[in-house]
Amino acid sequence: MAKRRGRGEGSIYRRKDGSWVAQYTVGDKRRYIYGKTRKEVAARLSKTLVERDPGIVYDSENLKVADYLDRWLDSIRDTLRHRTWVRHEEVTRLHLKPTIGGAKLDKLNALQVQFVYREKLDSGLSSRTVQIIQATLYKALKQAVRWSLVPRNVCDAVTPPRVPKTEIKPLDARQAKKLLATARDTQPYFYPLYVLAVTTGMRSGEILGLQWRDIDLDAGALQVRRTVFNGTASIPKTSRSNRGIRVPTPIC
């Protein structure tokens, strides 16, 4: 006489359409595994039960990628610099949700993700932008693994595009003088900003974040304490960016 399965051990049966179903429970919730053959669903059921028994249960509750990304963004809102969160939100809204948002989180595969990268490159986006898309998705799926929603991060099996190295060609002395002369004649109000950019190498966001209290004209120095991105001021990303700089004589 066959031994009767205990509660939660799962069962396998065949549907009227010929497909096979394995049924098991997680807590009080009933879960199903579907497949074309009994052998297939039996193997997947066995693996699921082995993972479930030690407490490793991967249950995405049929979440779609778009819904998961919304919840992930909400969960990390106060854990990142505002600028970083905004970047993740823009990538999610503009690039990830329109492409793979409709896929089930636990069904998302590496081929789908790789196709997104290819599609974005073909649309004219730079390799660097696609790398940013990759970084956002990787971070989101890494958290999904930590929350036991999926067993692995499919981004680990995807190859992002390589960013070609380009040589930066700074202005030579003649070009710098010409730029400053033009700025002085056509935009005198912003001329000091051009001088700062050319002579100190400060980033545009750092220049826009300057306040009068950051500048000591008598001492010929200024302090970088904030940066501006998309109209929002924030502290510099690293401690090295928070620094003092000698002010050029034309500004003093």
What tens digit of pLDDT does each residue of 96-112 get? 999 999 999 988 999 99
Q: What is the mean pLDDT of the chain?
A: 84
CB 182, CB 198: distance < 8 Å: no
Reading the block at residue 156, the tokens are 């680990």
What does the DSSP assignment read for 178-210? HHHHHHHHH-GGGHHHHHHHHHH---HHHHHT-
According to CATH, the topology of domain 65-157 is DNA polymerase; domain 1 (1.10.150)
* pLDDT class of 161 with cuts at 50, 70, 90: confident
Q: What is the per-residue pLDDT for 158?
A: 93
Residue carrying structure tokens 């930590």: 146
Would you say residue 6 has pLDDT above 50? Answer: no
Q: Where are the domains of the chain?
A: 11-52, 65-157, 173-246
pLDDT one-digit tens code per residue, 215-242: 888 888 888 888 887 777 777 777 777 7
The residue that leads in pLDDT, 25 or 131, is 131
* pTM, 2 dp: 0.59
Q: What is the pLDDT of residues 47-81, one digit of tens each?
A: 776 665 555 445 556 789 999 999 999 999 888 88
- Of 48, 149, 146, give the one whose Cα is nearest residue 106: 149
pLDDT above 70 as % of the chain? 88
For residue 14, what are the β-bridge partners?
Answer: 20
For residues 137 and 173, what is the distance between their CA atoms, to the nearest angstrom? 43
**CA distances in angstroms from 80 to 107, 109, 126, 219, listed in the order given:** 28, 28, 25, 36
Higher-confidence position of 232 and 35: 35
Q: Tell me: the pLDDT tens digits for 135-145?
A: 999 999 999 98
CA distance 179 to 81: 34
Residue/partner pairs of 194-201 with CB below 8 Å, 24 or more apart: 195/248, 195/250, 195/251, 196/247, 196/248, 196/251, 198/171, 199/248, 199/250, 200/245, 200/246, 200/248
The pLDDT tens digits of the residues spanning 170-219 come to 888 899 899 999 989 998 888 888 888 888 888 888 888 888 888 888 88
- Cβ(34)–Cβ(107) below 8 Å: no
| Short-list 122, 156, 151, 121, CA closest to 138 | 156
